[in-house]
Amino acid sequence: MTIEKPPAASMRGDDPVLGIEGLQVDVRTPERGWRRVVRDFDLELQAGEITALVGESGSGKTMIGRAILGLLPPVAEVRGGDIRFGDTALVGAGEAQLRRLRGREIGMVFQEPMVSLNPALRVGAQMTEALRLHHGVSAGQARSQCLAMLERVRISDPVACFNAWPHQFSGGMRQRIMLASVLVMRPRLLIADEPTTALDAIVQKEVMDIMVSLSRDTSTAILLVSHDLSMVAHYADNVIVLRKGETIESGRCTDILLSPQHEYTRTLLGALPSRTTTAAPPSADARPLVEVQSLRVEFTRKAVLFWRKPTIVRAVEDADFSIREHETLAVVGESGSGKTTIGRALMRLTETQAGTIRFDAEEITGLDGAALKRHRSRAQMVFQDPYSSLDPRMNLGDIVAEGLRNLPGLSKVERKQRACEMLAEVGLPGDYADRHPHELSGGQRQRVCIARAIVSRPRFVVADEPVSALDVTIQKQVLDLLETLQTRFGFTCLFISHDLGVVEQIADRVLVMYRGRILESGSRDDIYDRPLHPYTRRLLQATPRIMRTESGGYRLHEHEALPREAPPGYRHYNHGSIPGVPLTPEPPLMIENSPGHLVACVPT
Amino acid sequence: MKPSWIRVVLRRPNALVGGGLMALMLLAATVGALRTPYDPIIMDFDAILQAPSAAHWLGTDEWGRDVLSRLLAGATITMWIGLLVVVIAVVVGTLVGELTGFMGGWTSRCIMALMDALQAFPSLVLALGVMAVFGPSRHGVVAALGLAYLPAVVRVVRSSVLSLREKEYVEASRVAGNSELFTLFRHVLPNSLSPIIVLATALFGWAVLSESALSFLGLGVPPPAPSWGGMLADSRNYFERAPWLAIAPGLCISLTLLGINLLGDALRDLLDPRMKNL
Amino acid sequence: MLKYTLHRLLLALPTLLLVSIIVFGLIRLIPGDPAQLMLGDLGDPATLGRLREQWGLDRPVTVQYLIWLGKVVHGDLGISILQQRPVMEILVSSLGVTASLVLPAMLLASLLAIPAGMLAAWRQNSATDVAVVTLAIACLSIPSFWLGLVFLLVFGVWLDLLPVVGYVSLAESPVEGALYLLLPVCALALIEVGVIIRMARASTIEVLRLEYVTHARAKGLDEATVARRHVLKNTMAPTWTMIGLTLGSLLGGAVVIETVFTLPGLGRLMVDSIFARDYPVIQGCMLLVTAIYVVVNLLVELCYPLLDPRVRPQ
């Protein structure tokens, strides 16, 4: 499939909006003095074009965006090179001169929508600020311009939004407000620093679509800073690949990302998760290890006023599923879908309110004391955040050995011995056992977490977003390790993730969750190739992926499965805001559409 | 790791000055306990209100007692009381804070309500109330200040435990099948030590200040035992004739507080990464 | 907002109740009951018995507490043993003095410290910053009573500029009264300056690190506008709470400062009553000072939503 993009608004050879030549940025570190984080960086950006800076963490991409505006953090400094915005040289420009450009000519959208709006000022006050400063319009004019812009970023009630406080909005809404307040100035250049990284896939697509279409209208050039290659391939015209501050490759997006020349770019693309065709499909008659029936998990949130009743939030409602021995079942969904709660319920880290969980035919919801201890020696967990899941005061050997503490008949020496063997197994041999977590990188920490989980040879492992905090190349290594270990030790795995790409690589079967309900379940191929529920389709459409072609190149795969009817006699279940599907308040039934492929429906 | 730790200390003037001052005060306290140039208590009517001289470096008071000797002996008492208050408040407060933070339930709610009530008193007022009951004595001072500062420790420990409880490595310990109590002592307590140590240094400063204030009011260390606060109180009557009596003890209190404050700041920089740039 | 206020008020009640139990219990720890204390060694057994019956001292302790609490709620704190006047009357006359000492000190400290703390944070690691931080540490390290003594020595004795000992009420003579209060207020304020500087600086640094400040700068706002519109209010929220809490150490400090400058305030009253073993007055002082502290912090907390819309109940 080819990518369709409107031609860039201006022809090459015109005066560029932004030109950067030989930019050098240094950062002062307390231990080693000045360290170069951006080296000899060149860039030319024409009006209406989208150029992306891609790279893993530490590539210096964020520093470049900030250097343009003269808003580097206090520890960083531009040490050489030129930044020209139109006719103005930005390096060495005075504060007053920069201030005239900031906001008016160059806008910036930040990564974290939760902290980029001032919590103490109403949305309207923050939006009109720049308009009134730079264009000197009256309060009334500013207000009407902002309201118009809020409408264009598809905020349903612009007046209410204008008068509201930032904390009353979700992350996606705040990012739209940010976009509106930046684009209302009609800047010539928009710097978007990971603008959608903190958002769920569907919201991410909406925000990106709005951003791109609005800036095409105003022929605003966009400098898109991102780590997400697929997203960049989908939206950008040009791309610059960075690594440790150095430019690896630059050029048209289609050239670079779909037929990479440089080895590093190839490694990056090669590390993107992909469906492994070799995986044998799980035999349908394998014995289920975990069986969950009508599971309900509720959380009580205390009311602000103590005499009010606490509100009850149903995190998981009426979940039915089973996990067969030796298979990997993935749970996908956006934040708040209840996927993590399911994993925690299986580990008995969360109390359940109704339903049964049977592990190896034994009911575990009521276990306590020694029985619970035994369950936890058979079932283990790998956590999401590699920075908070290891006790900073213990060495790796002790951390892993703790997983064996509650196995009977092991001496301290034997435990340590087995811990060291397991560390070697996950690729941390020798003296790693004596090191402490702070000496490790994120990927290495996650290896330790895996070692701790499987050192007791559990039959079942819950992996809760184990790779989502990692860079793409590290992510691949950890996923590969997990697969190798699963083959070797034969554990059953519940894999929780929001990332459809990762799930496609590792899962045998998939559960799709939305707001506490399972909407669809089936084999990986059922879900990815023949999705039934409209939500599953939306999720797949919102996740463009770069796929390897048979010829060794790459193509951008955008999901285009046709909408499919619910099984005869039923309609698709919808309890939330899934567009295009009528709301169905009655409880759903899981209807089997084809063997093993179930979808949430209600009878017509 | 070790050599860089030393370098870190050397690069921080806070740590150096603060540590130096505290070492000096501890030395003074040790000397005060072992031997002083003159007896700090026995009066000498031949040497009343003498200005600083070679024989009496810091002069003498209204009873002819050597001010330097009294300062040294006072250092012993002040440091000792400060230390005892810190130990009592920190040990009791840590245990209560850890348990109420980790266990929850009705008992811990009641304990926290009591701590809230104790903290509702301005600490010096609570200490004064306790002293009113017990009468001036060293043990009374220790008890009063220990009680007054207990809630602060409980609160800090508890909030640190509450945030640690959410950490994934605490969860991981549960998943490994460890009991709650084991998890508390193995993973939570060692990681809440940093804020406790920082608080303990601050507490020592408050204890020295409050003990001096109580003694100044005549409700702390009872005379004739020398205490810096008491010496300041006595100096008021000889203000015009013997200003050195008012200067020296105050300077001692200030230097001790300065030392402990600087040391506390340096420790906080080292132990609490969140506050590193403050 | 009204419901929120009610909510906070109701939550403060158990604390106040526990405070009253502690104060009641503490005084009861003293050997001898109130009747004995009132009559001293002179009382004959018959008067003692009559007094005990009259005050309900022959009933169980819980009943005694409830009777006492009932009186306290109606403003009856008993009779001073020493002055033979209602305790409430004595407290009210002293309260004015303490208030005219503590409130200006609080105001002065805030006005000096908050701008200084913000400035230091803005110029973090510069010479200004180091100077302000050093000043803060110095303020924290000087005991207020010693500073008061030094003030007396320098301004009162050596320079002979200001009155040394004594007190004229502000109501009688505003100018002269203010002169008497000048030194104690300064001595008291300077201690809190250190605490507030550190708090204001720390919370400003915290805010400056947040993305919305960069966002404000990226809009092209100048530093003064960024400070005024985007930093000040967000910095004030935690600092505001801190100011409420410093009232505790100010009230404690007032006890000592009033003794140094011989001001007839609540603190000095409490100390004098301890020496005179005038227990009803001690009890009253503790209750009143603590109640003021609790109520002021409650007010501080009720104002907090004005600074931080996030905690406003919807």
Q: What is the pLDDT of residue B203?
A: 93
| Nearest residue, CB atoms, B246 vs list C153, C201, C285 | C153
Question: A178: which chain C residues are within 8 Å (Cβ-Cβ)?
Answer: 215
Average pLDDT over residues A374-383: 90
Q: What is the pLDDT of residue A10?
A: 41
Which DSSP string corresponds to A20-86?
A: EEEEEEEEEETTTEEEEEEEEEEEEE-TT-EEEEE--TTSSHHHHHHHHHT---TTEEEEEEEEEET
Minimum Cα–Cα distance from A130: chain C residue: C219
Minimum Cα–Cα distance from A406: chain B residue: B177
Q: Do C251 and B125 touch (CB under 8 A)?
A: yes
Q: Do A406 and B176 touch (CB under 8 A)?
A: yes
Residue A550: exposed, middle, or buried by beta-carbon count in 10 A (0-12, 13-18, 19+)?
exposed
Q: What is the pLDDT of residue B191?
A: 87
Q: Do A349 and B171 touch (CB under 8 A)?
A: yes
- The ipTM, to two decimals, is 0.88
A294 vs B60, higher pLDDT? A294
Tokens, residue A347: 């580990």
| Nearest residue, CB atoms, C146 vs list B125, B232, B239 | B232
pLDDT digits (tens, 9 = 90+) for A424-458: 999 998 789 999 888 888 899 999 999 999 999 99
- Counting one residue from chain A and one from chain C, the pairs whose CB atoms sit within 8 A come to 88
Within 8 A by CB and 6+ apart from B27, the residues are: none
Q: What is the mean pLDDT of chain A?
A: 88
Q: What is the pLDDT of residue A381?
A: 93
Q: What is the pLDDT of residue B6?
A: 66
Select from B121, B212, B235, B269 the residue whose CB has the most chain C CBs within 10 Å, as the one to mutate to test that interface: B121
Q: Do B191 and A452 touch (CB under 8 A)?
A: no
Minimum Cα–Cα distance from A435: chain B residue: B1
With an 8 Å Cβ cutoff, is B128 touching chain C?
Answer: yes
Q: Do A120 and C309 touch (CB under 8 A)?
A: yes
Q: Which residues of chain B from 170 to 229 reach within 8 Å of chain A, CB to CB?
A: 171-178, 187, 190-191
Question: A102: which chain C residues are within 8 Å (Cβ-Cβ)?
Answer: 217-220
Q: What is the pLDDT of residue B185?
A: 86
pLDDT at A510 over 60: yes
Q: Do B168 and A385 touch (CB under 8 A)?
A: yes
Q: Do A390 and B169 touch (CB under 8 A)?
A: yes
Q: Do A102 and C210 touch (CB under 8 A)?
A: no
Give the neighbours of chain B: at least 3 Cβ pairs within 8 Å: A, C
Average pLDDT over residues A557-565: 79
Minimum Cα–Cα distance from B1: chain A residue: A439
Point out the least confidently predicted range of A564-568, A575-579, B89-93, C120-124: A575-579
C33 vs C233, higher pLDDT? C233
**DSSP letter assigned to residue A302:** -
For residue B173, the distance in angstroms to the closest alpha carbon of chain C comes to 33
Q: Do C234 and A120 touch (CB under 8 A)?
A: yes
pLDDT at B277 over 50: no
Q: Do C217 and A71 touch (CB under 8 A)?
A: yes
Q: What is the pLDDT of residue C204?
A: 92
pLDDT at C39 over 80: no
| Nearest residue, CB atoms, C212 vs list A99, A102, A115 | A115
Question: C214: which chain A residues are within 8 Å (Cβ-Cβ)?
Answer: 71, 110, 116
Minimum Cα–Cα distance from C18: chain B residue: B117
pLDDT at B273 over 70: no
Average pLDDT over residues A269-288: 72
Q: Which residues of chain B from 149 to 178 reach within 8 Å of chain C, CB to CB?
A: none
Minimum Cα–Cα distance from A165: chain C residue: C309
Long-range contacts of residues A202-207, Cβ cutoff 8 Å, at least 24 apart: A202/A334, A202/A538, A202/A539, A202/A542, A203/A171, A203/A172, A203/A175, A203/A334, A204/A231, A204/A542, A205/A541, A205/A542, A206/A154, A206/A172, A207/A172, A207/A175, A207/A176, A207/A179
Point out the least confidently predicted range of A166-175, B38-47, B195-204: B38-47
pLDDT at B157 over 80: yes
pLDDT at A144 over 90: yes
Q: What is the pLDDT of residue B91?
A: 95
Q: What is the pLDDT of residue C43?
A: 66
Average pLDDT over residues A57-68: 90
For residue C252, the distance in angstroms to the closest alpha carbon of chain B comes to 5
Select from C37, C126, C137, C201 the residue whose CB has the most chain B CBs within 10 Å, as the one to mutate to test that interface: C137
Q: Do C219 and A133 touch (CB under 8 A)?
A: yes
B36 vs A398, higher pLDDT? A398
Handedness of CA C237, C239, C243, C248 (dihedral sign): positive
For residue A408, the distance in angstroms to the closest alpha carbon of chain B comes to 12
Query: In angstroms, rounded to a whole number, what is the distance separating the alpha carbons of residues A90 and A521?
Result: 55
pLDDT at C215 over 60: yes
Average pLDDT over residues A492-499: 94
Beta strands in A91-245 (DSSP E): 106-109, 189-193, 221-226, 238-243
Question: B191: which chain A residues are within 8 Å (Cβ-Cβ)?
Answer: 391-393
Question: C251: which chain B residues are within 8 Å (Cβ-Cβ)?
Answer: 122, 124-125
- When pLDDT is cut at 50, 70 and 90, the band that residue B272 belongs to is low
Average pLDDT over residues A192-211: 89
At residue A111, what are phi and psi to the nearest 5 degrees? Answer: -75, -45
C170 vs A518, higher pLDDT? A518
Average pLDDT over residues B140-156: 92
- Counting one residue from chain B and one from chain C, the pairs whose CB atoms sit within 8 A come to 139
For residue C186, the distance in angstroms to the closest alpha carbon of chain B comes to 17
Minimum Cα–Cα distance from B175: chain A residue: A376
pLDDT at A290 over 60: yes
For residue A519, the distance in angstroms to the closest alpha carbon of chain C comes to 33
Q: Do A393 and B190 touch (CB under 8 A)?
A: yes
Q: Do B176 and A452 touch (CB under 8 A)?
A: yes
Select from A28, A109, A116, A225 the residue whose CB has the most chain C CBs within 10 Å, as the one to mutate to test that interface: A116
Q: What is the pLDDT of residue B278?
A: 33
Query: In angstroms, rounded to a whole number, what is the distance separating the alpha carbons of residues A602 and A566?
Result: 9
For residue A387, the distance in angstroms to the closest alpha carbon of chain C comes to 21
Give the neighbours of chain A: at least 3 Cβ pairs within 8 Å: B, C
pLDDT at B71 over 70: yes
Q: What is the pLDDT of residue A2?
A: 41
Q: What is the pLDDT of residue A521?
A: 94
| Nearest residue, CB atoms, A393 vs list B172, B173, B191 | B191
Average pLDDT over residues B145-167: 90
- When pLDDT is cut at 50, 70 and 90, the band that residue C50 belongs to is confident
Query: In angstroms, rounded to a whole number, what is the distance separating the alpha carbons of residues A117 and A13?
Result: 38
pLDDT digits (tens, 9 = 90+) for C53-112: 777 777 788 888 898 899 888 888 888 888 888 999 999 989 999 999 999 999 999 999
pLDDT digits (tens, 9 = 90+) for B121-147: 999 999 999 998 888 888 889 999 999
Q: What is the pLDDT of residue A4?
A: 45
Q: What is the pLDDT of residue B275?
A: 42
pLDDT at A12 over 50: no
Within 8 A by CB and 6+ apart from A500, the residues are: A201, A332, A528, A539, A540, A543, A545
With an 8 Å Cβ cutoff, is B65 touching chain A?
Answer: no
Minimum Cα–Cα distance from A122: chain C residue: C309
- CA dist list (Å): A77 to A29, A71, A246: 12, 10, 17
With an 8 Å Cβ cutoff, is B167 touching chain A?
Answer: yes
For residues B123-147, b (16+ Cβ closer than 10 Å) or e, as one string? bbbbbbbbbbbeebebebbbbbbbb
Q: What is the pLDDT of residue B274?
A: 46
Q: Which of A64, A129, A66 is nearest to A98 (CA)?
A: A66
Question: A101: which chain C residues are within 8 Å (Cβ-Cβ)?
Answer: 220
pLDDT at B276 over 50: no
pLDDT at A7 over 50: no
- CA dist list (Å): A293 to A37, A61, A225, A320, B7: 53, 48, 45, 5, 60
Question: B144: which chain C residues are within 8 Å (Cβ-Cβ)?
Answer: none
Q: What is the pLDDT of residue A280?
A: 57
